């Protein structure tokens, strides 16, 4: 594949522990994932993003890592990972690993050595204070669950800094030894077959502890160093950053020229657009998306956005105003137990949209036609729901529903022994929502997703082209945008409202013939001119614009 493979990819995010159990111990594992690669290939996935698979006390879903050079024994071995990389590669699927290096677990040998002995070489790998910091209650990431960012350690007789939970001490990224060690970690996994990393909490990794006039707030030399080392070790490996920062700061994370290659990260999650998509869906008004597309920072030509609707965390609405948040909460999380951290929603998409198939299709058609590379969370392709009886973000981290039954085909273990309970009853339980039933149904959501991804393959302009919002009079619920690239031009229409509309777009520049390539059905396609176009309630239509009359 070309070096720009990440611009034409479909990324599928999953937790190994909740995807497929192969040995009946109630926990998903790497051999189980290998057994499901054909399913993922048929769906159209070209890249897997694996949530942390390293040894961990798992007090934070594996984001508290105790060894960067191993696999959690519950998931398998390093040999299993190498086999996964091989089997995936044979199916045209690459693997991104979570790189969680802002902090370690407090059980990591580095931290245990640092706290026991002030003379330990690892003491300087963490951030310490001999006196109580004045800002120990500032910078809280998890309101309601976290009360401080500095904790006193009785054994070390000092305070240590933790941006997240107190069992996740931060590494000191101003220490050259830390930087060199993490480069070794990255090289290790690239050698075993990984194609890159999703970097967790990237702004905190780059954050300087004592910024001043001579020391900027963030040290982007870390990213420069990573990029150079990555390209030397594996030329087509990529970095995908979690960086929920101000719009003006985003270009610095990818660097490079708008008309040329970039020098730092290859991809950024689009945290600016995601809440605007949900606001637009809540209000049945395309204006938030139009505004997001028109005001998006311009990235270097080889840099890429990663788009998403739901992921492994809460749906973070913190970039919306309080009034806008209230509209989204009212529409999609009306009850307090559906919300989290005073800023987010802990639900999956299907129940958020009331199980309305038309709205679900609209939402994902909208996401998959946004500038960038789409990221899909496991289970979304069949319309799984959440389990609000589980704490915090565990509500959306339940086992994959492969078939009917007490364990949904996820495991042969007793249901009581599963790593997370399977939801079997109700509208979104495995008896109603599962892969096996949907594979046999050409009209199922799963079958629709397979068609969606095939059509995405036919429209590479989405990943590599220039996006333009059509400057024509439109009803507020309608979004009309197009992409232009050397490959060609494509046009997309989406109606966010529950009433149908008729549009007149006129002749499009550079197009003599219009060919419809994907739609929600029931349309009679006009030719040559985009006039008298009907758009159903929650409707969407994809067109290819061609020069020449054609057939």
Per residue, what are the HEC states of 146-165? Answer: CCCCEEEECCCCEEEECCCC
Region of poorest pLDDT, from 84-88, 101-105, 207-211, 249-253:
207-211
Backbone φ and ψ for 307, nearest 5 degrees, come out as -100, 150
Model confidence at 210, pLDDT cuts 50, 70, 90, reads low
pLDDT average, residue stretch 410-439? 97
pLDDT average, residue stretch 17-36? 98
**Using one digit for the tens of pLDDT, what is the confidence trace for 423-432?**
999 999 999 9
pLDDT average, residue stretch 287-312? 94
Give yes or no: 83 in active site: no
Can you give the pLDDT at residue 104? 98
- Average pLDDT of every residue of the chain: 94
Model confidence at 235, pLDDT cuts 50, 70, 90, reads very high
Model confidence at 260, pLDDT cuts 50, 70, 90, reads low
Is it the case that residue 1 has pLDDT exceeding 50?
no
Can you give the pLDDT at residue 142? 85
Can you give the pLDDT at residue 551? 43
Q: Where are the alpha helices (DSSP H) in 36-175?
A: 37-43, 78-90, 109-116
**Using one digit for the tens of pLDDT, what is the confidence trace for 318-368?**
999 999 999 999 999 999 999 999 999 999 999 999 999 999 999 999 999
Helix (H, G, I), strand (E, B) or coil at 339: strand
Q: Which of 60, 242, 450, 520 is catalytic?
A: 242
Helix (H, G, I), strand (E, B) or coil at 223: helix
Q: Which of 200, 207, 219, 381 is catalytic?
A: 200
Question: Distance of alpha carbon 288 from its chain centroid, rounded?
Answer: 21
Cα separation, 328 vs 311, whole angstroms: 17
**Using one digit for the tens of pLDDT, what is the confidence trace for 502-512?**
999 877 877 77
- The pTM of the full predicted model, rounded to 2 decimals, is 0.96
Is it the case that residue 458 has pLDDT exceeding 90?
yes
Cα separation, 317 vs 271, whole angstroms: 9
pLDDT average, residue stretch 152-173? 96
CA torsion angle 510 513 517 521 (round to 10): 120
Cα separation, 178 vs 42, whole angstroms: 41
Is it the case that residue 549 has pLDDT exceeding 90?
no
pLDDT average, residue stretch 125-144? 90
Can you give the pLDDT at residue 550? 47
Domains observed in the chain: 5-102+176-455 (3.20.20.80), 109-161 (3.90.400.10), 466-546 (2.60.40.1180)
pLDDT average, residue stretch 477-503? 95
Q: Are 182 and 172 in contact (CB under 8 A)?
A: no
Length of the chain: 551
Give yes or no: 200 in active site: yes
Can you give the pLDDT at residue 232? 95
pLDDT average, residue stretch 138-153? 88
Model confidence at 442, pLDDT cuts 50, 70, 90, reads very high
Can you give the pLDDT at residue 474? 86
Is it the case that residue 87 has pLDDT exceeding 80?
yes
DSSP 397-409: -PPP--SSSTTTT
- Eight-state DSSP code of residue 37: H
Is it the case that residue 544 has pLDDT exceeding 50?
yes
């Amino acid at each position: 594949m070309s070096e720009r493979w990440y611009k034409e990819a479909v990324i599928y995010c999953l937790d190994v522990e909740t995807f497929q159990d192969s040995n009946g111990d109630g926990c998903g594992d790497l051999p189980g994932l290998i057994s499901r690669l054909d399913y993922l290939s048929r769906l159209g996935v070209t890249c897997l993003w694996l949530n942390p698979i390293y040894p961990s006390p798992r007090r934070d879903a594996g984001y508290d890592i105790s060894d960067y050079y191993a696999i959690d024994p519950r998931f398998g071995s390093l040999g299993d990972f190498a086999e996964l990389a091989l089997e995936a590669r044979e199916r045209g699927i690459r693997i991104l690993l979570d790189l969680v290096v802002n902090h370690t677990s407090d059980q990591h040998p580095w931290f245990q050595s640092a706290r026991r002995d002030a003379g330990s070489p690892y003491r300087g790998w963490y951030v310490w204070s001999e006196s109580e910091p004045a800002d120990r209650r500032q910078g809280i990431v998890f309101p309601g669950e976290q009360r401080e960012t500095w904790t006193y350690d009785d054994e070390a007789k000092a305070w240590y800094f933790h941006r997240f939970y107190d069992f996740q001490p931060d590494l000191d990224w101003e220490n050259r030894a830390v930087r060199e060690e993490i480069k070794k970690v990255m090289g290790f996994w690239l050698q075993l077959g990984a194609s890159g990393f999703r970097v967790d909490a990237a702004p905190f990794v780059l954050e300087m502890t004592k910024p001043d006039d001579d020391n900027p707030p963030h040290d982007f030399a870390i990213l420069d160093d990573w990029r150079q080392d990555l390209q030397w070790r594996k030329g087509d490996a990529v970095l995908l950053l979690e960086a929920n920062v101000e719009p003006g700061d985003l270009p610095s994370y990818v660097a490079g020229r708008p008309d040329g290659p970039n020098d730092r990260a290859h991809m950024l999650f689009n945290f600016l657009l995601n809440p605007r998509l949900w606001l637009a869906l809540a209000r049945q008004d395309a204006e938030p998306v139009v505004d997001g597309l028109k005001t998006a920072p311009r990235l270097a030509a080889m840099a890429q956005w990663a788009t998403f609707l739901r992921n492994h965390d809460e749906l973070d609405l913190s970039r919306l105003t309080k009034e806008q948040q209230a509209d989204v909460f009212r529409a999609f999380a009306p009850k307090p137990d559906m919300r989290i951290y005073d800023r987010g929603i802990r639900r999956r998409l299907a129940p958020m949209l009331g199980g309305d198939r038309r709205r679900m299709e609209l939402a994902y058609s909208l996401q998959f036609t946004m500038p960038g590379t789409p990221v899909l969370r496991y289970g979304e392709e069949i319309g799984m729901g959440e389990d609000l009886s589980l704490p915090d973000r565990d509500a959306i981290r339940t086992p994959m529903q492969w078939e009917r039954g007490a364990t949904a085909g996820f495991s042969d273990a007793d249901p009581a022994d599963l790593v997370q309970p399977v939801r079997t009853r109700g509208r979104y339980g495995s008896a109603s929502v599962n892969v096996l039933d949907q594979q046999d149904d050409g009209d199922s959501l799963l079958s629709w997703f397979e068609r969606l991804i095939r059509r995405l393959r036919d429209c590479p302009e989405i990943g590599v082209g220039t996006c333009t919002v059509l400057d024509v009079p439109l009803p507020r619920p309608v979004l009309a945008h197009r992409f232009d690239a050397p490959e060609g031009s494509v046009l997309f229409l989406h109606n966010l409202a529950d009433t149908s509309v008729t549009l007149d777009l006129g002749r499009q520049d550079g197009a003599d013939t219009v060919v419809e390539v994907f739609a929600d059905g029931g349309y009679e396609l006009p030719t040559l001119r985009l006039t008298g176009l009907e758009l159903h309630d929650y409707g969407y239509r994809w067109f290819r614009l061609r020069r020449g009359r054609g057939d």
